[in-house]
Structure 1
Amino acid sequence: MKTIYKIIITGFLLIVSSCTKEYLDKKPNKALLVPTTLTDFQALLDNTGVMNVVPAIQRIAADYYYTTNAGLIAYANPFEQNSYLWAKDVYQGASMSDWNIPYQQVFYANIALDGLNDIKPDASTQIDYNRVKGSALFYRAIAFYHLAQLFCKPYNPATASQDLGIPISLSSDVNVRPGRGTVQKTYNQIITDLTAAASLLPVTATLKSRPSRPAALALLARAYQTMLNYDQALSYASQCLQLKNSLLDYNTLSTTSSSPFPASLPNGNDEVLFHSITLSYSFAKSALTGIDTLLYRSFSANDLRKSLFFNAPNVNNMIRAKNSYAGTAGTFAGIALDEIYLIKAECYARKGDINNSMNDLNILLAKRYKAGTFASLTASSADDALAKILVERRKELLTNVGLLRWTDLRRLNQEPRFAVTLNRIINGQVYTLPPNDPRYVFPIPDDEIAGSGIEQNIR
């Protein structure tokens, strides 16, 4: 991570005065480097251009999207083409924001956490102190989580204590260079940070770009689901929904609008718990990138998601996704309550509780169909309930425009009944990604390997 530290050790006062990316190009002024007050640390964490951005390369590799021969050639970066075809050499020497941005977030969070150790809050500052500390812990945890989805093997309880993790940096001291550790240690840190964050954060954040207690509980539910610990995932999803449970009624939205969803910032979308957007890559903007047609056809005529999620076919006969839960420019990659209902429903089904699983699913779906047309789904068995929930999960989480699909593929491929083989056809050649293939783990960028000497992933 030495490379990223060179990028981000810059004049702190530039961050406070203007939360733009300009400061990244400035030379450091050591007299201005160290934030010291709660206001300073809050300003550091409010840099949405860094702290609310999420990796996107996994969206290219998952199965929501497809492109044509011409579309693939038009992608701006070789790593986009290589990710789409699951090539072994993805980056071809390029530095990768999908690695660098999360570690910027970790570094900023560690600056705040280290600095808070020198502040002794009193009765007048305790609430602000707790919010800043909880926010820093949340940002560090979500950065580690996103990195784990790309650069670690899928969590497997039988092998997690041996599988390679990511470097877990818990200090802003750039001379502290942690090794990779294990997958188990990676997730342990994520859980530790989020548990502490949930105890410190307010129930309602002043802005959705800031974390809240429900957001921390929701991310705990997501993390435990990723770890295949469905009992804990159920517990945290339930705790989240006890605090916040609003769902958008899609009947109130315009199906003809190109941006039908209210903007999540500052506080426009009640279903959004935490706002972030993906890195911007050319594949998502290309008129030759389309949504999987079989997925599109799986939405029934009375399902409002079909017209709210998708535009009509373009001149290339491609189905394109509309603006997502961000509501404006940028692709939503945050945390929303639809995901939490689905986690809760899935966990109930895995426990054999058919009634509660279908009840949570139907609460969600009732807000997605034309008024008066939705008939509650039923299930003949727990397995039937689970299968129905996973179908709806894939459809519904287009609100996150594919961000979570990569994690779901990695997780569900460990169950033979849900495992899928992905296929692409480019220039008449078939490219295949079987379940549990090593290419479900991205290589660590070449510059990081050269600078740190940590072990590379087998691909």
Structure 2
Amino acid sequence: MKYLQLLYSVMFLGLFSGCTAFLDAKPEDTLATPTKLQDLQGMLDYESSLNMNYPSSGDIAADYFFLTSEDWQGFEVDPRNTYTWDADAQNLLEWTYAHRRIFQSNVVLDAVDAAELNGRSESDRRDVRGQALFFRAFTFFQLAQVYCPYYHVGMEDSPYGLPLKLSSDINEPLFRSTVQQTYQRIIADLELAADLLPEKGLLPVRPSRLAAYGALARVSLVIEDYDNALKYADAYLEINDELLDYNTLDGRSTMPIAVFNKEVAFHAVTLGNSSMHEPTYAFVDSLLAKSYEENDLRRSIFLLKDPSGYFRFKGSYDGTNNVPFAGLATDEVYLLRAETLARLGRNAEATETMNTLLRFRYKTGQFIPWQNIDSEVLLAKILEERQKELLFRGGIRWSDLRRLNRDPRFAKKLIRRLGAQLFELEPLDIRYTFLLPWTVLEMNGLPQNPR
């Protein structure tokens, strides 16, 4: 408990530093719980805490990029170990940032019912509550992808779920939930958030009903609840089905995709402490780079050829290419919808969904629509398009590897080569679940993930 008490105390003192008059208050005033709704909204608008630094371990360990041995040697030990799937790999900073976000969300949730409106409305109160629920649930989900064993509906439960912190009380005892309980909490919070939030936020840094539906669709796909994945994908697309036409983007630009573009429902980025994903270091996986067809505009929008002959990535929906975009966007929802339709045997609808997306990704008049594709081939093609569309998207590929490795048709052994050293990660390997930081466990008596 001492570790979390110290952690949360530091968070509480540090998170009020901008945004509103309350956040600019004197230090002694910041020790008090905010009493005005506008102050709670100010806490949720603190972008550097709420929209940045989402877990990066899965992306460092994913297969869509590689490093040279020389560059790998230059990084700190934690990202180096994560990149090579070391059994003892862990990331305290990743855990700390996530729990800072959870703490801020809980402060808001504990105070929102009694907060003074001061000219705001009850609708604003609902909005603030919904935003806090979204941030907490989305953070729990991201943590579950790296710190909990894989789980799908109907699977035997595991005791190695998250310690679900649901209160800002730093003296509240902590214990690990089961994995099923972890997902139940994530889904319940997102469903309530969807009921409370407006369809769209002022900017995509604020959660909205659109974002909640996108998150629910992703969670449902991960746990193989295909009926609900389709339901939430359709709910999302009823609000926004617009796609970027890649014909209108400048493939010569090093940053061809604008931040807050019309596909972005929720803006977030991963933790950038390692810098591994920066174009200076990261090369796109060679087989993935070769998979784009000649008329596929993603070749020029996503890839920049390096003098070495390999390719760098330059198509981030964050607009900077420095860290993976970890938010939610419409192209992912189209791919998710197509996959769930295919898995439910609705092949014609799955095919048309893919055709709708890909028309905006190929040179005008050059895309040949999919038609009459065998069921097995159709699903494989959709999954291939997921890799080609969603590379350098924080959290997605790692989640896909974890779930697809359970199907022999799509299981994949990962291989890293660093000089003469060879590192391998077999499908279903226990290292697909990372260790919780030892410092946290020692202070709180929580059980460690198996090794």
User: TM-score under structure 1 normalisation?
Assistant: 0.92
Cα distance in 2 for partners of 1:71, 1:12 equals 34
Q: Is the 8 A contact 2:218 2:336 kept in 1?
A: yes
2:147 maps to amino acid = F
Residue aligned with 1:423, SS? strand
Which residue in 2 is equivalent to 1:148?
144
2:13 corresponds, among 7, 10, 15, to 10
Q: Is the 8 A contact 1:348 1:354 kept in 2?
A: yes
Cα distance in 2 for partners of 1:199, 1:171 equals 21
* Alpha-carbon spacing, 1:85–1:133, altered in 2? closer, same or farther (3 Å): same
Which residue in 1 is equivalent to 2:241?
245
State the number of aligned residues. 445
**Does 2:432 match 1:440?**
yes
Which residue in 1 is equivalent to 2:71?
71
Which residue in 2 is equivalent to 1:99?
95
1:359 maps to amino acid = E
**Does 2:315 match 1:319?**
no
Superposition map of 1:391-406 within 5 A: 391-398=384-391, 400-401=392-393, 403-406=395-398
Identity %: 39
Cα distance in 1 for partners of 2:399, 2:32 equals 37
**Does 2:85 match 1:86?**
yes
**Does 2:348 match 1:349?**
no
Q: Is the 8 A contact 2:149 2:158 kept in 1?
A: no
2:362 maps to amino acid = Y
Cα distance in 1 for partners of 2:116, 2:362 equals 52
Cα distance in 1 for partners of 2:322, 2:38 equals 28
Which residue in 2 is equivalent to 1:455?
447
1:309 maps to amino acid = F
Shift of 1:363: 0.5
Structure 2 residue runs without a partner (length 5+): none
**Does 2:207 match 1:211?**
yes
Shift of 1:156: 3.3
Which residue in 2 is equivalent to 1:59?
59
Q: Is the 8 A contact 2:41 2:128 kept in 1?
A: yes
Shift of 1:198: 0.4
Cα distance in 2 for partners of 1:11, 1:449 equals 24
Cα distance in 1 for partners of 2:322, 2:280 equals 16
Shift of 1:159: 4.2
1:429 maps to amino acid = Q
2:353 maps to amino acid = D
**Does 2:167 match 1:174?**
no
**Does 2:360 match 1:367?**
yes
* 1:303-344 Cα deviation digits (max 9, x unpaired): 00011001122x444311015111236432110000001111
Shift of 1:162: 2.7
Superposition map of 1:216-235 within 5 A: 216-235=212-231
Shift of 1:434: 0.4
Shift of 1:32: 4.0
Q: Is the 8 A contact 2:270 2:394 kept in 1?
A: no
Q: Is the 8 A contact 1:12 1:34 kept in 2?
A: no
2:77 maps to amino acid = P
Residue aligned with 1:455, SS? coil
Residue aligned with 1:285, SS? coil
Q: Is the 8 A contact 1:160 1:182 kept in 2?
A: no
Shift of 1:384: 1.8
Cα distance in 2 for partners of 1:288, 1:326 equals 18
Q: Is the 8 A contact 1:2 1:452 kept in 2?
A: no
Question: What is the root-mean-square deviation in Å for CA atoms of aligned residues?
Answer: 2.2
Shift of 1:68: 2.0
Q: Is the 8 A contact 2:13 2:30 kept in 1?
A: no
Which residue in 1 is equivalent to 2:131?
135
Shift of 1:55: 1.4
* Alpha-carbon spacing, 1:294–1:176, altered in 2? closer, same or farther (3 Å): same
Cα distance in 2 for partners of 1:448, 1:160 equals 27
Superposition map of 1:383-394 within 5 A: 383-394=376-387
Cα distance in 1 for partners of 2:55, 2:362 equals 31
Q: Is the 8 A contact 2:60 2:82 kept in 1?
A: yes
* 1:102-121 Cα deviation digits (max 9, x unpaired): 11111111100100132487
* 1:151-193 Cα deviation digits (max 9, x unpaired): 0001133445334101101101011122111110000000000
Q: Is the 8 A contact 2:230 2:340 kept in 1?
A: yes
Residue aligned with 1:454, SS? coil
* 1:278-303 Cα deviation digits (max 9, x unpaired): 11122123634311011000001100
1:114 corresponds, among 105, 110, 113, to 110
Q: Is the 8 A contact 1:11 1:32 kept in 2?
A: no
Residue aligned with 1:283, SS? coil
Cα distance in 2 for partners of 1:89, 1:18 equals 44
**Does 2:261 match 1:262?**
no
Cα distance in 2 for partners of 1:110, 1:403 equals 23
Shift of 1:452: 0.9
**Does 2:423 match 1:431?**
yes
Residue aligned with 2:153, SS? coil
Which residue in 2 is equivalent to 1:272?
264
